Amino acid sequence: MGRVALVTGGTRGIGEACCKALKKAGYKVAASYAGNDDAANASRKETGIPVFKWDVGDYQACEQGVIAVENEVGPVEVLVNNAGISRDAMLQKMSSEQWEQVMRTDLDSVFNMRARVINGMRERGFGRIVNISSINGQQGMLGLSNYCAAKAGMIGFTRAVALEGARKGITANAIAPGYVATELLSGVSEKVMEHIVGQIPVGRLGEADEVARCVVFLAADESAWITGSTLTINGGQLMD
């Protein structure tokens, strides 16, 4: 039987691509989502991957959600923290609500999710945690102070978890994608898109499948000596 993988925000974009790639690689996959029932149902019908609805920013909801996944699919051995939102505004215009919404969904969620799965991973002597950060967690960006802070915090959290889990067979790594062709960019004007692509040496946006392949690599049993790392995938836009 394949290992069980849980992907948050797993019914659209990068998350859905990760679910498909993990399933193809032999994992038993579950996907969580927050609110788009139509997209979740469409994803479930297309992929055959079970979907579970809860708010990853809510600690108790995460606990109950993971219990539901484990009852239906099995103990979570691979956790992919992909759920994320953006609420863009220049700092002088950013509301406390915009700040808190992004921090809650993008950063608090990685703590909330590990809280339920970490003990089982320690007991079994195996675990893979993959946190989907962003190029904007490695560099600043106008109008994204909340998002940049959350994604940078995710990288620091990953390194600490890697140290704590190392002797228990648990790895923790981050992936920092550059600009990927997903719904997050759907509202960007043509002029802004030209500017974004112009900064990418390979001359195009990334594809969700390209990020998903990195997730499968880090989730593998054979990746046991890779932990505390941040895998940068951005078409050469930022070389770190």
Residue 200 is predicted with a pLDDT of: 96
Given the DSSP bridges, would you call strands 4-7 and 28-33 parallel, antiparallel or unpaired? Answer: parallel
Point out the catalytic residue in the list 27, 33, 147, 179.
Answer: 147
Find residue 79's DSSP bridge partners: 6, 129
**Whether the Cβ atoms of residue 174 and residue 229 lie closer than 8 Å to each other:** yes
| 45-69 average pLDDT score | 97
In the residue annotation, 33 being an active-site residue is answered as no
Q: Calculate mean pLDDT across residues 136-147.
A: 93
Q: Which domain holds residue 98?
A: 4-233
Residues 6+ apart with CB under 8 A from 94: 87, 145, 146
Which whole-number Å values give the CA distances from 174 to 104, 135, 150, 153, 215, in the listed order? 18, 11, 13, 11, 9
Give the C-alpha separation, 162 to 230, whole Å. Answer: 11
Burial 23-45 (b: 16+ CB within 10 A, else e): bebebbbbbbbbeeeebbeebee
The confidence score (pLDDT) of residue 1 equals 60
213 inside domain: yes
Q: Is residue 77 part of a domain?
A: yes
Q: Tell me whether residue 25 is in a domain.
A: yes
Which three-class secondary structure state does DSSP give residue 129?
strand
Cα angle for residues 39, 100, 206 (degrees, 5° grid): 45
Classify residue 239: in a domain, yes or no: no
Across residues 39-64, what is the average pLDDT? 97
Instruction: Give domain status of residue 34, yes or no.
Output: yes
- Per the structure, the count of domains in the chain is 1
Nearest to 9 by CA among 105, 129, 99: 105
Residue 62 domain-assigned (yes or no): yes
Q: Is residue 238 part of a domain?
A: no
Report yes or no on 122 lying in a domain. yes
pLDDT in tens, 180-230: 998 777 677 888 889 899 999 999 999 999 999 999 999 999 999 999 999
**How far does Cα 192 stand from its chain's mean position?**
25
CATH number for 72: 3.40.50.720
